[in-house]
Amino acid sequence: MRILRLNLAQLRCFESLSIVPAAGINLLQGANGSGKTSVLEALFLLSHGRSFRPGGSQALIRRGQVECTVYAELDEGSQTHRLGLARSAHGWQARIDAQPVSRLSSLLVHCAAICIEPGSHDLIAGPAEFRRRFMDWGVFHVEPAFLEAWQNYRRCLQQRNSLLRRNGDSAQLAVWEQGMDSAAVRLDEQRRAYLGRLRIQLLEHLARWLPELGAPMLRYQRGWAAETALIDVLAAHRIRDREQGHTRQGPHRADWLLGFEQAPERHQLSRGQTKLAALACLLAQFECFANSAARRRCCFWMTLLPSWIQPIWSK
């Protein structure tokens, strides 16, 4: 994938902006507050359907305006596409080649962009949600069946949680637990396979950039007890789940963790080591995408370049 044009309107500090990137490396330079990170954010929106900055979706809209838009023309090798994404008080509106689409995922599949931004170190230091999003974005782009399995699981999970809060009977719960179990098996297989491919490039980068920490390790936690079917776990935890009002185990609680021979736990890493580990993860994801069966191209964007590269230079 190559970006032929990127247009922004009423996004953050921009009234309007149009960029025609070169085919290779592009460098954005400007003073603090000039909007460099907002350009990166626009690409992230098209690729992930959300912002990496705090403040919610409404914060994207320029002050005094009612809607912001991002538009991109993409070259995917054999064909080109025009993607449009608008945000207003009524929610998101997405278009592909001027035609509205009902599901945001239909747009996201066309735009693959890996962005290294100020909060990327949360991939290592932050909660499991960051690592789960990273993992699932990668699976989404290399495994066509992932989206259907995830949507099925989410639907069953929402129904089970609703029954837990309404004190639904066990027979009703069992119906949705069966659906969760079926989808969970597929999700677990797809995630495990993806991390297996990612591991090769990731451990190579970690060993080269952080040799002082010893041998690196990648551990996958699927979200429920190993060697136990999810349907059995859910049935055994119904009472506790009713008390909590939600499902506490399943693929929606999955995680993966990095460790090292000399620093088994992530809190033992310095800030510089944490940033290098996060950079290694994102670069490995880029390489994994490029080496996938589809052989599709992916954009790789960075902000605050010196702060990410300096730890490598210092070595």
Q: Are residues 128 and 32 in the same domain?
A: no
Q: Are residues 200 and 235 in the same domain?
A: yes
Q: Are residues 196 and 90 in the same domain?
A: no
How many CB atoms sit inside 10 A of residue 268's CB?
12
Is 271 a member of any domain? yes
Q: Are residues 96 and 200 in the same domain?
A: no
Q: 57-64: which pairs have CB atoms within 8 A and are 24 or more residues apart?
A: 57/87, 57/92, 58/87, 58/89, 60/11, 60/12, 60/87, 61/10, 61/11, 61/87, 61/88, 62/10, 62/11, 62/12, 62/13, 62/14, 62/15
What's the CA gap between 294 and 20, in Å, rounded? Answer: 26
pLDDT score recorded for residue 307: 67
Contacts of 109 (CB under 8 A, 6+ apart): 140, 141
Domain hosting 210: range is: 122-294
Averages of pLDDT over runs of 10 residues in the chain (315 residues) are 93 95 89 89 91 83 94 89 92 94 90 88 95 96 93 98 95 97 98 96 94 95 96 97 97 97 91 93 92 74 71 61
Q: Are residues 167 and 264 in the same domain?
A: yes
pLDDT score recorded for residue 294: 62
CATH code of the domain covering residue 83: 3.40.50.300
Q: Are residues 239 and 274 in the same domain?
A: yes
Q: Are residues 140 and 89 in the same domain?
A: no
What's the CA gap between 160 and 166, in Å, rounded? Answer: 10
Q: Are residues 60 and 148 in the same domain?
A: no
Q: What is the mean pLDDT of the chain?
A: 92
pLDDT score recorded for residue 312: 63
pLDDT score recorded for residue 43: 92
Is 314 a member of any domain? no
For the chain, the domain total comes to 2
pLDDT score recorded for residue 42: 93
pTM of the model: 0.90
pLDDT score recorded for residue 212: 94
pLDDT score recorded for residue 219: 96
Q: Are residues 154 and 244 in the same domain?
A: yes
Cβ atoms of residues 260 and 92 within 8 Å: no
